[in-house]
Amino acid sequence: MDQTVPLAPMKMRGKGVSVFYGEKQALHGVDLDVPERQVTALIGPSGCGKSTFLRCLNRMNDTVEGARVEGDITLDGEDIYAPELDVVELRARVGMVFQKPNPFPKSIFDNVAYGPRIHGLARGKAELEEIVASSLKRAGLFEEVKDRLHDAGTGLSGGQQQRLCIARAIAVSPEVILMDEPCSALDPIATATVEALIDELKQNYTIVIVTHSMQQAARVSQQTAMFHLGRIVEVGPTEKMFQNPDDKRTRDYVTGRFG
Ligand SMILES: Nc1ncnc2c1ncn2[C@@H]1O[C@H](COP(=O)(O)OP(=O)(O)OP(=O)(O)O)[C@@H](O)[C@H]1O
């Protein structure tokens, strides 16, 4: 089976990835390559391990008590589980946007400035302001908030909050952005705005998105991986996965017949 989308270099590679939560094995030897500057969608029925795999890509499972990860995952060929690797640095390179918008209880400005401040990315006030403005612009939010940057981030609408969280992720110049059902708490209009943004962001970032919406996977991704019971049953170019999948489980799932 062809596991890759042709011509794109691989930004991240997972090989034989298994994850255990205590005694329970949630992933069984998953292989998945993530092409650079493309959107990879992870799909599959609830509990099949999509979020678990996503969290392996920036070692968020390290924060889950009792979780153990086996196998190899590389970023630009570097082992992200190497003992000497700085996890804080890794999470700046591989950022994350969660299901529920989770702005800090701080101003819009401070939400975006948070990462650059802790990573020492700005040499002064003007540079920090520039990073905040450009991150908000790239997240498609600047025009809506430019006159109230010092208001609370939590006062924004759900869709605006999610774009604020995307701006916060972008502000530390990540290379990869992981998104765990980023639109599940949003209405259709805010969803369309975030999807358009994802499409634009792929020019500069590699994106991996977990989604339950088949329409969303089809609209935003170039590569799709179908998970089932902790394994990948099929991975390929999104168009093929939706129009002519090899595996019956993929076919049933993308057409809504999965029982
Ligand atoms: N912190 C945890 N402790 C114990 N088991 C967990 C934990 N997180 C996930 N699991 C289990 O691991 C399996 C995979 O879960 P995961 O959340 O990765 O699936 P998913 O495909 O993302 O599901 P969903 O689509 O419902 O979000 C499930 O059986 C789940 O119950």
High-pLDDT (> 90) share of the chain, %: 88
For the stretch 59-97, pLDDT in tens is 999 999 999 999 999 999 999 999 999 999 999 999 999
User: What mean pLDDT comes out for the span 101-125?
Assistant: 94
pLDDT of residue 4: 52
Question: Smallest Cα–Cα separation from 50: which of 183, 186, 211?
Answer: 211
| Residue 258, pLDDT score | 75
Contacting residues for 240 by C-beta, under 8 A, at least 6 apart: none
The binding-site residues of ligand 1, defined as CB within 6 angstroms of any ligand atom, are 21, 24, 26, 44, 46-52, 64, 210
Instruction: For residue 96, report the distance from its CA to the centre of ligand 1, in Å.
Output: 17
Residue to mutate (ligand 1; options 18, 30, 50, 184; most atoms within 8 A of CB)? 50
What mean pLDDT do residues 190-200 have?
Answer: 91
Q: What residue owns the CA closest to ligand 1's atom 16? A: 49
Whether the pLDDT of residue 186 is over 90: the answer is: no
Burial class (CB in 10 A: 0-12, 13-18, 19+), 77: exposed
Predicted TM-score (pTM) above 0.90: yes
74 forms beta bridges with 13, 79
Beta partners for residue 109, in sequence order:
none
pLDDT of residue 6: 54
Query: What is the pLDDT of the chain when averaged over all its residues?
Result: 94
CA-nearest residue, atom 23 of ligand 1: 47
| ipTM summary value | 0.96
Query: For the residues 135-157, what does the mean pLDDT come to?
Result: 95
Mean pLDDT to the nearest integer, 28-46: 97
Atom 12, ligand 1: residue with shortest CA distance: 26
β-pairing verdict for 39-43 and 206-210: parallel
State which of 18, 23, 24 you would mutate to test the pocket of ligand 1, scoring each by most atoms of that ligand within 8 A of its C-beta.
24
